[in-house]
Amino acid sequence: MCRTVDLHQAVLARNDENALALRGYLGDRGTVAVNLLSSPGSGKTALLEQLLARAVAAGVTAAAVTADLATENDATRLARSGAPVRQILTDGLCHLEAGMLRRRLEGWMPEGTRLLFVENVGNLVCPASYDLGETLRIALASVTEGEDKPVKYPTAFGLAQLVVITKTDLADAVGFDREAFLRGVEQVNPGVPVLETSARSGEGVDALLAHVLRAADGEEAHVPVLAREHERYLDSHDHGDGTGPHRHDGDGDHGDGRRPSSGGRRRHDDVPGAAPVPAEARGNTP
């Protein structure tokens, strides 16, 4: 008898298991990971540099890992903050995976690190499907990218626990329609908090750091509709290892006291008001 396994689903299932292990690794060290997703040119690196500098000034132990296909330019920029920074070069891969991140952290992450910022590859498609063991997932979009980013990339914004608007100092110059953007966010991720920031003026940077610190202190983060769908999916899924679909103990609990995260792979089913999601927006890698 032949058994067919969807290769993409098998890769995602393996990543989910690696993310669970990474979440435990970070938890044992008292470290909260923050996964930052955006398109290239959104101002993510400039904003992260400001966040790290303010964390360092406030005595918060923070570190960052930044991912790119090539060059260490972003790591060089972020290191100016005074925080420990490490670069991951993906050699053409359009996203980070939990196993890649874990290998880069081992033997490097300073003891006592409270906040670990992970600057994902600039891409709003592939990274959205991969759980990195994060506690908080943030999707960013700049005012220069247009108002329709959330509805064009519903998985990335639909799984975010926080949405951040960047480069607000340019909003008037580019004619940014703030209300249209917010309507799009609400369509794909009802109730998600939205912060407006500018790395140039400093607007919203302190509020963003405060939001991250509250998550580090255990404040419950927003749970997207897609995350709830994913938890139901995890209750009866096939690991692709021949064991077939099964349920985890504890209504989705993996049996080790850790719940599935609200980040990572999700099903984009039954989102109120959301348009059908094209295949390219479901995280399928090229």
What digits encode the pLDDT tens for the residues 140-177?
Answer: 999 999 999 999 999 999 999 999 999 999 999 999 99
For 70-83, what is the mean pLDDT? 97
Q: What pLDDT is stored for residue 122 in this prediction?
A: 95
Q: What pLDDT is stored for residue 93 in this prediction?
A: 84
Residue 261: band (very low, low, confident or very high) from pLDDT cuts 50, 70, 90: very low
Q: What pLDDT is stored for residue 231 in this prediction?
A: 64
Q: What pLDDT is stored for residue 285 in this prediction?
A: 31
Q: Which of 83-107 are b and which e, b meaning 16 or more Cβ less than 10 Å from the residue's Cβ?
A: bbbbbbebeebbbbbbbbbbebbee
Q: What pLDDT is stored for residue 257 in this prediction?
A: 36
Model confidence at 260: pLDDT above 50? no
For 108-120, what is the mean pLDDT? 97
Given the structure tokens 């750091």, which residue do they identify?
209
Residue 56: band (very low, low, confident or very high) from pLDDT cuts 50, 70, 90: very high
Burial tier of 10 (Cβ tally within 10 Å: 0-12, 13-18, 19+): middle
Q: Which helix or strand (DSSP H or E) is residue 109 part of?
A: none
Q: What pLDDT is stored for residue 92 in this prediction?
A: 80
Lowest mean pLDDT among 52-56, 69-73, 106-110, 257-261: 257-261
